Amino acid sequence: MRNVLISGAGVAGGTLAWFLARDGWTVTVVERAAGPRTGGQAVDVRGVALDVVDRMGLGERLRAKRTRMRGMSVVDGAGQELYRSEEFTHSSGRLDSADFELLRDDAVAILHEATADRVEYVFGDSITALTEDAHGVRVKFEHGGFRTFDLVVGADGPHSAVRRLAFGPEERFSTHLGQYLAIFPAPNFLGLEDWQLWVRHEETGGAVYPVRDNTELRVTLGFGSAPLPPMSVPEQKRLVAEQLAGVGWEMPKLLAAMAEAEVFYFDAMAQIHLDRWSAGRVVLVGDAGYCASALSGQGTSLALAGAYVLAQELGRAGHEEAFAAYERRMRPFVALNQALATENPTGGPSEESLARAKNALTLG
C-alpha cells in the first residue's frame, strides 16, 4: 500500500491529500496547529486553479464563500478619498472576473471537511527528523514517536520544517522583498458594507475589508523594513504600532483592535527559490517550495495547481520520475507568478502580466 505523510494542513496540503486519497493512497497529514488554522487574509482562486477546485467537486462550495466587494477606496491620513473603483479591488482584481476571492480559513475548513473521512489528520504535532533508506522515510514526530512512510511532502509554508530538514536552513532559499505584513480580525466598527478601504502613508499603510456578511473586518497593516530578528507576538504588535502610529485616519482604532486580537499573523514578504523541489523521497509543494508572497496574489492558486500536478504525476510513475515531471511542468508557471510580486510592489501586477501568469499551465 502506498502511504504518504503530508506536513501542513493548509491549501496545498489539503488539496494534495484530497487527490492522493482519491487515487488510493493512504494519507496522513500532520499539522502543528491544534486544528485547521483560522485567521489570515482573503485569498484568490484564479486561472487554472479554478479548474482544480472544479475537478475536486468543491468549486460550488468555495465560490459560495467568496467575498462580495462592491468596490474600494484609497484614502490618505486625513481620511480624504484619493481614488475609488467599482470595477476592481487591489486584493481580488476585476469584480466581473470568473476568478474569486475567499477567506483563507474558509478554504482550509472546506478542504479539511472534504478529506476528514479518508485522511488521517494529526493536529498539534510536527516533524523533527527525517531518515531515508531504500524503502521509505522514517519520520520522528515531536510528540508522536516514529513512523515510516513511502513519501514525505512538505506543504508547511514558507518556513517549512520539512524543507529545513531535507534541504537546509531557510536563509539559503528565502529572498526578502522589503516589507512586513500584519493581519488580524476585528469587529466591524467602521460600518463597512461590502466595501474595501486602503490607506497609504509613505512606506506604511493598510487595507480593511468586511467579511462574514459585514459583521467582521479583516485588517492588513504593512510597512517597509530590512529583515528583522525573531520576535514574540507582543513584540511584533508593539513594532507594528510604532511603525504605523503616524498614519492618521482610523489607524489608532485599528491599532487598538490589533492589541486585543487573539488571532494575529505577522511575517516578512519573501519568496522561496530552490534549484530542486525534491530530495530522494521528500518533495515540496506550495509555499514550502516556491512561495511567491502575498504581493503576487497567486500563492493560493500556485498551491492548488502544484498539488494537482504532483498528484497527477504520482499517479503515472514512480516517485523519481513523478517528481521530475512535476518540476518540469510547474517551474515555468512558478517563475511567471513569482515575477508578479516584483513587477509593481506598491500597486500590484498589471492585468496583462496576471492574465499570462495565471493560465500558464496545462492541467491535462
Tens digit of each residue's pLDDT (9 = 90 or more) over 194-250: 999 999 887 789 999 999 999 999 999 999 999 999 999 999 999 999 999 989 899
pLDDT at 360: 82
Residues found in the chain? 364
Question: What mean pLDDT value characterizes the chain?
Answer: 94
Q: What percentage of residues in the chain have a pLDDT greater than 70? A: 98
Residue 96: per-residue pLDDT: 87
- Check whether 285 has a pLDDT greater than 70: yes
- Give the Cβ contact number of residue 206 at 10 Å: 25
- Flag the least confident range among 77-81, 153-157, 291-295: 77-81
Distance CA 13, CA 312 (A): 15
0.85 exceeded by pTM: yes
CA distance 80 to 170: 42
pLDDT tens, 118-170?
999 999 999 999 999 888 999 999 998 999 999 999 999 999 999 999 999 99
Cβ of 355: how many Cβ atoms within 10 Å? 15
H/E stretch holding 235 reads helix 233-244
- Closest listed residue to residue 16, CA positions, set 276, 287, 275: 287
pLDDT at position 348, please? 62
If 0-12 CB within 10 Å is exposed, 13-18 middle and 19+ buried, where does residue 95 land? middle
Across 308-313, average pLDDT: 98
Kindly state the average pLDDT of the residues 94-120.
95
Q: Cβ(267)–Cβ(181) under 8 Å?
A: yes
Question: For residues 132 and 141, what is the distance between their CA atoms, to the nearest angstrom?
Answer: 15
Q: pLDDT at residue 346 above 70?
A: no
Q: How confident is the model at residue 279 (pLDDT cuts 50, 70, 90)?
A: very high
Three-state DSSP class for residue 105: helix
Rounded to an integer, what distance in angstroms lies between the CA atom of residue 54 and that of residue 61?
A: 10
Q: Are 133 and 152 in contact (CB under 8 A)?
A: no
Partners of 159 in the β-ladder: none
CA distances from 20 to 2, 44, 190, 302 (A): 10, 23, 44, 18
pLDDT value for 59: 97
- Which phi and psi angles does 35 have, rounded to 5°? -170, -175
| pLDDT for res 344 | 58
Q: Quick count: other Cβ atoms within 10 Å of Cβ 117?
A: 7
Q: What 8-state DSSP symbol labels residue 171?
A: G
pLDDT, residue 347, reads 56
